[in-house]
Amino acid sequence: MDGNVAPLDLICKLANDYDALVMVDDCHATGFLGKTGRGTEEHFNLMPGSVDIINSTLGKALGGASGGYTTGPIELVHLLRQRARPYLFSNSLPPPVVACASKVFDLLMGADGFAEKIRENTIRFRSKMTEAGFTISGDPHHPICPVMLGDARLAAVFADEMLDRGIYVISFSYPVVPKDKARIRVQMSASHRFEDIDRTVEAFTQVGKRLGVIE
């Protein structure tokens, strides 16, 4: 929700010192964080296998549909196949969903530079919004870019006015986020062009000035 990145390198070091296992829920990193979109582990340049268990989703960056996965030691995989309730008591994923997710993995493993494009778009949006006077929460390289507004009503009105300008963004307020932490969450995509980002920043600036968010 905040576009933060856990200090996984330090967590893994601490786990190594105490002979502990590390499990990561990488749903908000898979497909775009890291040089080739492999997630938080790659983002910190950790050796493959530094994280013992990774749980993630086939939705969001991997097609936005449904389903998920868990990776880890083969013993864990065997155990989950016998004991994990979502695996045992859920219907199988529809073949089109599996095909879509598989294709996304192929694209990420290819040479199309999707992860790099997302990083470029993220840096452009965050830097231009900051220059315009907005407060953007989270890690400077995370494509989830929360534009912090504070007031719930203000965030809702702001989002409506953005839609009037042809920009679809979502406002979040309590209880989804803490009180007085209302924001508009913008998510960068590899499909966005620099012109799209600049147009969005211009719309934010116009609405922000009209509503007294920025000068």
Instruction: Report all structural domains of the chain as residue ranges with CATH numbers, in order of start.
Output: 8-109 (3.40.640.10), 114-210 (3.90.1150.10)
Per-residue pLDDT tens over the stretch 10-51: 999 999 999 999 999 999 898 888 888 889 999 999 988 889
**Averaged pLDDT of the chain:** 91
Determine the Cα–Cα distance for residues 34 and 149; give it in Å rounded to an integer.
Answer: 29
Q: What is the distance between the alpha carbons of residues 28 and 10, in angstroms, rounded to a whole number? A: 19
Grade residue 96 by pLDDT with cuts at 50, 70 and 90: confident
- Mean pLDDT for 182-187 is 94
Find where tokens 């307020």 sit. Answer: 173
- pLDDT tens digits for range 99-156: 888 888 888 877 678 888 999 999 999 999 999 999 999 998 899 999 999 999 999 9
Q: What is the dihedral of CA 206, 167, 114, 95, to 10 degrees?
A: 160
